[in-house]
Amino acid sequence: MSLVGVLALQGSFNEHIAVLRRLGVKAVEIRKPEQLQNVTSLIIPGGESTTMAKLAEYHNLFPSLREFVKMGRPVWGTCAGLIFLADKATGQKIGGQKLVGGLDCTVHRNFFGSQIQSFEAEVLAPEVASQEGGPETFRGVFIRAPAILEAGPEVQVLADYPVPSNISTTSNSAGEEQKENVEQSKVIVAVRQGNILATAFHPELTADTRWHSYFLKMANEIIESETSNSQLQVNINYSQKQLNELPIFQ
């Protein structure tokens, strides 16, 4: 059985593990680089992205996390995890933070505001609903949530959300960089790019398990594809070996 790792430095890792267990999937907490060698997929949970980045740097996790993504292993980032996986982040605290990268997008940290501006809303995600069943909307829990402002051509948009009227362009008291002018009427809040899934909201804080089920199916497809390709390469190499061993008549 595939083993799912959940980055357990800070944030809602326990909630992700609880959902996975309800789905009958074994999950383990990841805190050290060598632990990534034992899992086939990874969830990077929501939390405080700057704190998570400092802890990841302290435990020397960034090289292993980047290699995990680069190798094509299935990874899902929620909220702070989305920020981690983005190639570019704006609205960061002064001095910035390290990113894992791999997701071709620009994400704005805390786009929807501070802690007191956190909210819940219905998010339309027909692609996920068509695979998992149920209504096309999902309950989105947005806690100091980021948003994707720009996405590359290979990024599949799974959900977007209207820009609230209270989004301003002023800097806040947390020492964060000034927000850019928001001209679009909607921002992206869920995407997939190859082996990467990312959501700006927290599915693990709801009773709806469809996002986790979607990720598990996505991970299984990737793992099965890798296994098939490896077996094909073995067969090709074996066939070549057989040809090389044929007698040569002169």
- Give the catalytic positions in this structure: 79, 202, 204
Give 26's contacts (C-beta < 8 A, 6+ positions apart).
1, 3, 4, 20
CA–CA gap between residue 174 and residue 144 (Å, rounded) = 12
CA–CA gap between residue 1 and residue 26 (Å, rounded) = 8
Please name the helix (run of DSSP H) or strand (run of DSSP E) that holds residue 71, with its range, or none: none
3-state secondary structure of 204: helix
Give 154's contacts (C-beta < 8 A, 6+ positions apart).
104, 193, 194
β-pairing verdict for 75-78 and 103-108:
unpaired
Instruction: Write the DSSP string, 91-130.
Output: SPBTT-------EEEEEETTTT-SGGG-EEEEEE-HHHHH
Nearest to residue 208, comparing CAs of 159, 136, 107, 119?
136
